[in-house]
Structure 1
Amino acid sequence: MASRVILFFIIFAVAARCASSLGGDTLTDVLNITAVGKQPGICSKCICKDGKVNCSSKGLTKFFPQHKWAALKNFKPTIVDMSNNSFEKITLMAELPIEVLNLSRCGIQVVELAAFRSLRNMRVLDLSHNKLSNTPELISMDVLNLAYNDLHTLIDLGVFLKLKQLTELDLSGNPLAELRVYDSGWGSTLKILRLRSCQLTDIPIYFMGHFTNLERLDLSDNLLTSIPKYLNQVEKLLYLNLNQNPIRELTISNEMHWKLWGNAPRLLKLKELHLCNMPILREIGPGALGYLESLEKLHLSFNPQLSYITATALTRPAKNGEGYEWPMVKELYMKSNALSEVNPQLLSRWDLLTAIDVSGNPFRCDCDTQWMVDVLVPIVDKLKPNASEAMVCSAPKQMRGFTMRYVHEVNRTMECVFTIKKNGAVVIKSFIGVLLAVPIMAAVILLLKCAILASKRTTNSDQ
C-alpha cells in the first residue's frame, strides 16, 4: 500500500513538472492526453494530428496566448486552421514551423505588431473575410490572402517591403480607392494578382509596371468601361479575367491603344481571356481582340445584350503585310448571349477546337447560318455528344423551335430571309430601292409627257 502511495506522488510530481515546462498549462491540460493524438492546451480544444492543428469552427472567442502556442513546440505543426471562429485581435504567436496559417472568417479587426514575426517558415497566410482596415506587419511568404476586408488604399503599405518572394496576392472585395505602390520591388515576384470586386474604375499608369512577372490577373466585377490600356506593361500575362464589368462595346476605336501604345507589348502571350456576365456588352468590332496572337481560350458567355461579333474580331494584319492572321483558338465558349449567328470567319480553323459551347443563343436559321448546320454541328457533337441539341432556332417563324442538330439530320437547306445585318449591309436595300424607283420613274415620265403636251399646245396656238 505504501508503495502505491509513493508511486502516485511520483506520477503527480512528474505531471506537475511537465505542466511547468509547457509554459503554464494546468495539470488538467497535461493529463488530458488521449490515444488519438490529443495534446495539452490548444489540442484539448482542437484536433491535432499529422502536423495539423484544426481549430476551424470551434466557437473560439479569444485567440490563444503565446505560451499556449509555445506548448506545441514538440508537436511541430506545419498547418494551422483557425477559420470560422470569433476573435477581434490576433496576438503574438510563438516560434513554430508553421507553413500554412488560416485565419479567415474570424471577425478580426486588429493584428498585434509583430504577431507573425516568429513564424519564419510561413508560406501561406489567409486573413480573408475579416474586418481589417489596415494591413498588419507581415513577414516573407509566398501567398497572401487579404480578400474581403475593409482596405481602402494601397498607398502606404510599407508592410509589403519585406515580401520579396510573394508570388500570389488576393485583394478582392476591398473598397480600394487608389491603386498606387511605391517602387519597393516587392511586386516583381508576383505571378497571381486578384482585384475582384474592388470598385475600380481604371488602372493607373504606374501601377501595372511593378508586376513585370505577372501571369494571372483577375479584374472581374469592377467598374471598368474599357480594357485598361496599361495592361500592356505586363509582358508575361497569360490569363485575364474581365467578367462583370460595364464595358459597352469592344471596338478598334476604344481599344486602339492595344495596337498603337508606343513600343509597349500588346499582351502577346495572353492565352486565356474571360469576358462573361457583362451586363451591357453589345458588340465586339473588327480587330478588337486581334492582337492577342497567342490566345487559346476565349470565354464570351452570359452576356445578355451581346448580339454582334464581327467576322474580323480576332484578326490582325499579317506580319508580311499580306492578308490577315488569327490566333489558334482551341477553346471557344459563347453560351447564352444574344447572338443570331456565328460567323464562319471568326476562327481560321474550327476543326482544331478541343472545346466549344455556343448554346443558348437565339439563332436565326436561314441561308446565312447554313454553315452552322453543315459544318459546326458535327464539330460540336464530336467534341461533346448531342451538344448541338442546345443550338435552337429562334427565327424565322417557320424554323422556330427546331434544333440545328435536327436540321442537320434531315439534311435541310434553309431559305434566305431578308434581314438587316448589324454591320450595315442591308439585304433588303435593293428591294426597297426598286420599290422607290418605280414611282419616281413614273413621275419623271409623267412630267415629260406634260411638258411635251404643253409644248404642242403652245405651237398650235402660235399657228
Structure 2
Amino acid sequence: MKYNLLWVPLFAVLCCSLATAEDESSEMANNDVVKAVNAFNETPISKINVIKSDLCKKCSCISNPDYSQIDCSNKNMSKPFSEEEWKILKNGDITFDTIKMEHNLITNIIAFPAYPVKNVYLGFNQIASIEKGAFANLTELTKLNLAHNKLTTKALDPNVFKGLYSEHDFLPLGKVIELDLGHNDIHSLDADLFEHLPKLETLLLSSNTFQVIDQNTVTAISGLSFLKTLDMSFMELEELPDNLFHGPRDLETIILTGNLFDELPDDLDLATNLRELVLDENPIADLTGENIFPTLPNLRYLSMSYMPDLSIIGAGTFAELQNLETLILSSNPKLSKIDEKAFTKNTKNPEIYSFPPLEKLYLHNNNLTQLDHGLLERWDKITVLDLRYNPWICDCNNRWLVEVLMIQINNTNPLLTEDVNCDQPSTWRNVPLIELNTPEARLKCGRDGSDAASSLFLIGLLVGMLLCIPILLGSIALWRRGCFGLSRGQVEANRSLYNRANFNDDFHI
C-alpha cells in the first residue's frame, strides 16, 4: 500500500507533462491555422495597369480579346526595353502577343527575360551581333523577324537559337515556325544553324547576296524537314544545287524572284508537294525544247512576270502542270508568242489531250497580238482572264477572241474589258475589242474565217484581170493591123535592115 501511494505523485506529474505538451502542440497548430487564414485573406499583389503606364505612353499598345500588341518602332531605342520596362510588362495586367521594335538603333541583342510573347519584330535596326541563347526565355515564341539588319554568317552561330538548359542538353525553340533573315549581309549558312529550330516552316533569305548556294547552306536547308515556305529571292543565284529540295518534303512555296536564272532551275521536281512557285524578274528568254517545267503534280499557282527577255512559250511548257489553277504571265515586254500546245499533254489515247484546270489567267501588259483558241480546252471555266495592254490585231484570226472571250469577260469582270484595244489595222487602232461586237463594227469574215476585206481585194483583183486580158488581146490585134500609125511596109522595111548571121560564120577562121 505504501508503494502504491508513491505512484500517485508520479502519475500526476506525468499527466501534467502530457497536458503541457498537448497544449503546446495545440497552440502551434492554432498558430499555423491562423497564419494560413491570414495568408488566404491577404490581398494579392495588384497587377500594373499597362495601358496607363509610362511604357504605353511611349509606345503604341493594342489590347483586345483576339490580339494584343505593343509597338515601340521608331523610338530611337538602342536596346530592347530597360529593366524597369520589362518589370512593367512582366507584372502587367496584359500579356502582349506581339512586340515590335523596328526602325530603331539596336546594334546588339542580349538575352530576353522570361515573357510569353509569340511574335517579335526586330527588323530595320543595325543589329550585327546576337548573344547565344538570346531567345531561350521566350518559350512561346513562334515568329522572329530579324530582317533589314547587319547580320553576317559569323554572327549567326547555331547557339543563338538554343533554348533553356534541361537535365542533359539545351532544349530547342520548338514553337518557332517562321524566321525572317532577309536583307542582311549573309553569304552562307552554318550547316547546324537550325538545329535548335526543328519545327521551322517558313524561312526568308531574300536579298542576301549568296550568289552560290554552298554545301553548308544545302545541309542547313535540307535538314528542315517541316519547311513549307522558302524565299530565296534577289540572291543573285544563277543555278540551284542538287538535292536542295530533297530534305524538306513538305515544301509548298518557293520564291525565286529577281535572280539570274536563264533557264528553269534544276531539281524542281524533287519538291513533290510544291503548290506555289514564283519566278518573276529572271532573264529566261524562252521556254522551249527541254527548258520546260518538270512534273509538278500539286502545283496550283505559277507566276512568271516582269521578265525582260521572255519572248516565246513553246509547246509542252506547262503540259506537266496538270493541276495548275492560277497562271500569271504579265508585264513581259517581249512575250509575243504562246504556242497553241503550251498546255497540251498527250494521253494514252493519241486523239485525246489533257489540259490543266485553269481558273485564273493573267496575260496583261505583254506583246501578244493573237490568242489561239486551242490553247485551252475549257475557256468557259476561266473566272478571271486579264488581256489588257497588249497590241491585239483585230482581224478574223482573232474573231473568237472578239466575239466569244470578250463577251465572257464582260459578263464576269466588266472592268477587265477596258484597255483591251486593237493595235491593227490602223483604222481600228485604240478601239476596244468589246465594241467590235456591235452590228456596225462586227468583223466581216468569210465562212473559212478569212477577213472580208481581204476577200473583197481578191475578188477585185480577179475582176480586174478578167477585164484587162480582153483589152490587151484587142490592143495587140489592132497594133498588128497598123491601127496605131505604123504601116506593114514600114515594118517589113525595118526587118530588112536585120540580117541574121549565117550559122556557119561562127566557124570561119
TM bin, normalised by shorter chain, reads: 0.7 to 0.9
Shift of 1:318: 1.5
Matched with 1:318 is 347
- Structure 2 counterparts to residues 142-291 of structure 1, below 5 A: 142-154=177-189, 156-179=190-213, 180-182=217-219, 186-255=223-292, 258=294, 266-291=295-320
Aligned AA for 1:95? A
Q: Equivalent of 1:60, from 41, 61, 77?
A: 77
Name the residue aligned to 2:378: 349
CA–CA distance in 1 between the matches of 2:290 and 2:451?
Answer: 32
Code of the aligned partner of 1:178: V
The equivalent residue for 2:12 is none
3-state SS of 1:351 partner? helix
Equivalent in the alignment of 2:412: 383
Evaluate the alpha carbon distance shift between residue 71 and residue 319 of structure 1 in structure 2; reply closer, same or farther with a 3 A threshold. Answer: farther
Asked if the contact 2:50–2:88 (Cα under 8 Å) also holds between the matched residues in 1, the reply is: no
Task: Tell me what 1:119 maps to.
Answer: 138
Q: CA deviation at 1:62?
A: 3.2
Distance between the aligned counterparts of 1:307 and 1:78, measured in 2? Answer: 50
1:219–1:44: structure 2 CA closer, same or farther, 3 Å change rule?
Answer: same
In structure 2, the CA distance between the partners of 1:279 and 1:385, relative to structure 1 (3 Å rule), is same
Aligned to 2:442: 412
Query: After the TM superposition, which segments of 4 or more aligned residues of structure 1 sit over 6 Å from their partners?
Result: none
Aligned mate of 1:367, from 372, 391, 396: 396
1:104 paired residue number: 123
Give the residue type in structure 2 aligned to 1:377. M
1:240 Cα deviation after fit:
0.4
Tell me how far apart the structure 2 counterparts of residues 164 and 253 of structure 1 sit (CA, whole Å). Answer: 37
2:119 is equivalent to residue 95 of structure 1? no
Corresponding letter in the other structure for 1:352 = K
CA RMSD of aligned residues (A): 2.6
Instruction: Flag the 1:280–1:55 CA change in 2: closer, same or farther, 3 A.
Output: same
Q: Report if aligned partners of 1:38, 1:47 keep a CA contact under 8 Å in 2.
A: no
Give the distance between the partners of 1:77 and 1:208, measured in 2 at CA: 37
Equivalent residue letter for 1:37: I
Contact 1:125–1:145 at 8 Å: present in 2 too? yes
Q: Secondary structure at the match of 2:268?
A: helix
> How has the CA–CA distance of structure 1 residues 91 and 369 changed in structure 2, closer, same or farther, with 3 Å as cutoff?
same
CA 1:66–1:181 in 2, change beyond 3 Å: closer, same or farther?
Answer: farther
Quote the offset at 1:284 in angstroms: 0.1
Aligned-pair identity in percent equals 32
Query: CA shift at 1:414, angstroms?
Result: 4.6
Distance in 1, matches of 2:100 and 2:257, equals 28
Aligned 8 A contact 2:208 2:234 in 1: yes
Code of the residue aligned with 2:90 in structure 1: it is K
The Cα of 1:64 is off from its aligned counterpart by 3.0
- What is the aligned counterpart of 2:51 among 13, 17, 37? 37
Does the 8 A contact of 1:340 with 1:361 survive in 2?
A: yes
Residues 259-285 of structure 1: CA deviation (Å, up to 9, x unaligned): xxxxxxx11110110010000000000
Question: What amino acid sits opposite 1:151 in the alignment?
Answer: I
Q: Which amino acid aligns with 1:232?
A: D
Letter in 2 for 1:142: I
In the superposition, the TM-score normalised over structure 2's length comes to 0.70
Match of residue 446 from structure 1: none
Give the aligned residue type for 2:138: L
Report 1:294-313 matches (<5 A). 294-313=323-342
Match of 1:82 among 96, 101, 106: 101
Question: How far off its partner does 1:66 sit?
Answer: 5.9
Residue segments in structure 2 that go unaligned for 5+ positions in a row:
1-44, 162-172, 453-501, 505-509
**Separation in 2 of the partners of 1:396 and 1:382?**
27
Question: Contact 1:243/1:276 (CA < 8 Å) preserved in 2?
Answer: yes
Structure 2 letter corresponding to 1:297: T
Kindly indicate whether the alpha-carbon contact (under 8 Å) linking 1:162 and 1:186 is maintained by their aligned counterparts in 2: no
Shift of 1:389: 3.3
Q: Secondary structure at the match of 1:372?
A: helix
* 1:438-453 correspondence runs (5 A): none
Q: Is the 8 A contact 1:165 1:186 kept in 2?
A: no
Measure the CA separation in 1 of the matches of 2:240 and 2:330. 24
- Mapped contact 2:193–2:220 kept (Cα < 8 A): no
Change (3 A) 1:100 1:395: same
Amino acid at match of 1:94: P
Q: Tell me if the contact between 1:81 and 1:103 (Cα under 8 Å) persists in the aligned partners.
A: yes
Candidates 77, 81, 89, aligned match of 1:72:
89
SS in 2 for 1:189: coil
Q: Number of residues paired by the alignment?
A: 382
**Are 1:397 and 2:426 matched, yes or no?**
yes
CA contact (8 A) 1:288 1:314 kept: yes
For 1:38, the aligned partner's letter is: K
Q: Write out per-residue CA displacement over residues 322-371 of structure 1, whole angstroms, 9 at most, x where no aligned residue.
A: 43211111111000100011111111111111111011000111111111
Question: How big is each residue's C-alpha offset from its partner over 1:203-257, in whole Å with a ceiling of 9 and x where there is no partner?
Answer: 11121112210111111111111111201000111110001000000013323x7
- Asked if 2 retains the 8 angstrom alpha-carbon contact of 1:188 and 1:212, the reply is yes
Q: Tell me, in whole angstroms, the C-alpha distance in 2 between the residues paired with 1:88 and 1:174.
A: 19
Q: Deviations over 1:120-154 (max 9, x none)?
A: 11000011111111325223301111111111112
SS at 1:161 equivalent = coil
Distance 1:298 1:131 in 2: 36
Q: Which has the larger radius of gyration?
A: 2
User: C-alpha distance in 1, partners of 2:50/2:232?
Assistant: 43
TM-score by length of 1: 0.77
**Contact 1:215–1:239 (Cα < 8 Å) also in 2:** yes
Tell me which amino acid in the other structure corresponds to 1:196. S
Aligned to 1:5: none
Q: Could you tell me which amino acid in structure 1 is paired with residue 366 of structure 2?
A: N
User: 1:185/1:220 Cα in 2 relative to 1: closer, same or farther (>3 Å)?
Assistant: closer
